[in-house]
Structure 1
Amino acid sequence: MILKTILPVIVVTLVMGLLLAASKKKPKKDEVGNIILQLPKLYPIIGILVIIGGIGLLIFAFFFANGNDQILAIISSLVAMIFGLLMFAKGYISHIKVTDLGITETTLFAKQKEIRWNEIREVSFGKVSLEMKIESSNKNIKAHMHLVGFDELVSNLEEKTGKTRIQIGIPE
């Protein structure tokens, strides 16, 4: 009973605490001194573990399951492997670069979106999604609160837009 109810709460609380602590660290900088914000290493690690779990489920499906269980296991393993791959790629490929000219987001599929400081129209924070949305007239960039160096991005936005952390909606 305890393992079913309390353990998941403890694990989720610990992981969220680790992710929040990682976001408070100093971000990486490139050779010119631009700030590079990226999700913590825990994201690609969890992605790899989910992919391995999906492969294990696929092996189970082919060698041990029968009938409907086999179909369900194959579908579940494919979903797990796709989710793991997306999580790995999100943590490993995507990042946000903060420069003197603006903010550039490299997405999961290596597509780049840039918003210059003077083009920013709206900055808001989703309390449920934990994402800060930076909007221009035709583009938007989303920065998750778990990004390493998130506070430095917020400081830059406060400086460049004149909006405070509280006006954006970011909790203290």
Structure 2
Amino acid sequence: MMVSIGEAVTLERRIAAVAAIRDNVVAGRLSLDPEAGDKILSMLRDQMDRVDAWLRGTRQLARRAPLGRNPVGQAMAVKFEHRAGAADGSLSLAGVLTPYRLVLAEAHAAVDQAMKLYRRTEEDQISSFRQLADGSGPYLRPTGRVDRLVDAHAPEAVPGGTRMVTPRPISPDQ
């Protein structure tokens, strides 16, 4: 299996895209709904399992084939061994699958972290709303029941014993 330069460039772009996703998750700009995240994690695990099987296969291919003792046979055996199993960053099968496996693992970690951020944000919001509802939050302090409302423009009583507050326009000075 020969990998073209274009395919290697595409892999590098995908590596960069996963790194950008990870950076956005770490910065708190990206979170992920756990239901969707679970589906993505499952797909990533399946793909990692496939890549692991392919890598095991490359180890079996990465051996010198018995192509004879002549110089051409020896050269071809070395070439095939290198193309299958060299993990030196070359365009060998193992050289391409190994970084791809790492990208999948990083994507898995980023999705997991994005799901945790979503859950943490959701829990914080629930906690804030509970505090708001019971009056213990920093934003709302109930001061007791308001029995009388006063209208600064028309202080006459409104039926029912309370007075009405009408909004007054805000002047540019305020």
Q: TM-score, normalised by structure 2?
A: 0.32
Query: Which of the pair has more CA radius of gyration?
Result: 2
Taking CA–CA contacts closer than 8 Å with sequence separation of 6 or more, which of the two structures ends up with the larger relative contact order?
2
Q: Give the strand-richer structure, 1 or 2.
A: 1
Q: TM-score, normalised by structure 1?
A: 0.32
